[in-house]
Amino acid sequence: MLAAPVFGYLGDRYNRKIILGAGIFFWSGVTLSSSFISELYYWIFFLSRGLVGIGTASYSTIAPTIIADLFEEGKRTTMLSIFYLFIPVGSGLGYVLAAGMAGLTGDWHWAFRITPCMGGLALVLLILLVPHRTQRRTAAHRALSISGTIRVAAEKPGVHRTAKTTWCQDVISLAKNWSFVWSSLGLTAMAFVTGALGVWVPLFLYRAQLVQGTVSPCLQETCNSSNSLIFGGITIGTGMLGVIAGAEAARRLRKINNKADPLICATSMFISALCLYVALMMAKTSVLSTFIFIAFGELFLSVNWAVVTDILLYVVTPRRQSTAIALQILVSHLLGDAGSPYLIGIISNAIQAKNDGSSQWSFQSMQYSFIVCAFVGVFGGAFFLLTSLYIEEDRKEAEQL
């Protein structure tokens, strides 16, 4: 989260392939090194796991802009959807690969020794397949960014105009871009809901089963294993399906409505919020129904991942795209999934403290606190509706710059 603005600044001014390669190399090196840290230096291990986020920040901010420059608008959404599709796939495969290596070797350290091999493969493919320099595109112009200087070709040969902007000027300009601001807040609402669900759903489902009498009380560390496994499978499946569905819907509806992208995001957020609310209300009587509606809620959340990034890429001028993505990552994590699990926990504890410590109130306290996610989802839909009011104007402005 904190490294994203740094890579955004660098990505808008220097060679993105080199920066992306350096980030992947750093991620792989830190991951491999962490596997050799002994228990005596556990704090260094924790630090090394945090440093992995620096590598993540490099490709999260820069890769989408490279994809945008390699493909025209018709194919860009499809390619972005493939990029975001592999986020849930990679997360799921990471668990499988790491668990498999730990099982084969009898040592969990090998989980951190095999995954850097995947990073090494990614680095080799980056070097071999991605052009050293990609031209920055809009519908009307191509721009080349060199050390913060933007040279935009004019219609007459040999004529160009040069514009130099500082990082602060870029941020101020983005703050005036209402399509970027509102869509970023919509993404923040998505991250808020996703973060809370990822942490608390397994425990919530266990407490629901406890109230129904379908499970027996157990130790905290063993309570949620089956629910976690099912929820993890749901997350991977709905993530893949949702990203594909969102990209296809955007591709088709853009042909008939210029505001299709934010309207798709708004609709999916409203439906997701409704599904999550129904899931919460049905948890006490039917855990199966809860699983089903949570799956639909996550499905409609996932519809937006590629579409939101595509919105950013055509409402922000190319010389500010890396900075824009970095700021979006910073805000969505800071106000979204970094704090939402903690907030849900605080509300649940506060409700439970005012009532008895029975399993009934243990369940209801979390049920009531989770309703916050449904309301945040509705706000997210409203933010995307506001985006639709400005998107045509901001898109034209970005194409003219």
187-231 residue pLDDT tens: 999 999 999 998 888 888 888 888 877 666 655 544 555 777 787
pLDDT in tens, 341-396: 999 999 999 998 888 767 788 889 999 999 999 999 999 999 999 999 999 999 99
CATH superfamily of 169-400: MFS general substrate transporter like domains (1.20.1250.20)
Give the tokens for residue 331: 């805000």
Residue 163's H or E segment, with its range, is strand 160-164
Q: HSE (CB half, 13 Å, CA atoms) of 13?
A: 16
- Helix or strand holding residue 144 (H, E): strand 142-146
Least confident of 67-71, 218-222, 234-238, 274-278: 218-222
CA angle centred on 41, ends 35 and 45, rounded to 5°: 45
Predicted pLDDT of residue 151: 39
12 near 170, Cβ under 8 Å? yes
pLDDT one-digit tens code per residue, 81-121: 888 888 777 776 777 777 788 888 888 888 888 888 888 99
**In the prediction, which pLDDT does 188 show?**
96
pTM of the complete model beyond 0.85: no
The structural domains of the chain, with segments of one domain joined by +, span: 4-134, 136-164, 169-400
Specify burial of residue 168 (Cβ count, 10 A radius: 0-12, 13-18, 19+).
exposed
Amino acid of residue 65:
T
CA angle, residues 108, 112, 117, in degrees to nearest 5: 135
Q: What DSSP state is assigned to residue 224?
A: S
* Torsion angle, alpha carbons of 222, 225, 228, 233, to 10: 170
- Checking if the pLDDT of 156 tops 70, the result is no
What is the C-alpha to C-alpha distance for residues 191 and 221, in angstroms, rounded to an integer? Answer: 26
The pLDDT value given to residue 217: 63
> What is the distance of C-alpha 127 from the center of its chain?
25
- Cβ proximity of 144 and 153 under 8 Å: no
Return the DSSP state at 42. H
pLDDT tens digits for 224-261? 557 777 877 888 888 889 988 998 899 889 889 999 99
Q: Are the folds of 4-134 and 169-400 the same? A: yes
Q: Per residue in 129-150, pLDDT tens?
A: 888 766 555 444 444 333 344 4
Structure tokens at 290: 């809860």
Distances (CA, A) of 89 to 226, 236, 240, 373, 385: 20, 6, 7, 25, 30
Whole-angstrom distance, CA of residue 167 vs CA of residue 149:
12
Using alpha carbons, select from 83, 84, 116 the residue that is nearest to residue 98.
Answer: 116
**How confident is the model at residue 30, as a pLDDT?**
92
What is the distance between the terminal CA atoms of the chain, rounded to a whole angstrom?
29
> Could you tell me which CATH number the domain at 4-134 has?
1.20.1250.20
For 227, half-sphere exposure in the C-beta direction (CA atoms, 13 angstrom radius) is 25
**Cβ neighbours for 35, distance < 8 A, ≥ 6 positions apart:** 109, 110, 111, 112, 113
What gap in Å lies between CA 275 and CA 273, rounded to an integer?
5
At which residue do the structure tokens 């089903």 appear? 292
Spatial neighbors of 384 by CB under 8 A, at least 6 apart, are 182, 183, 186, 262, 263, 265, 266, 269
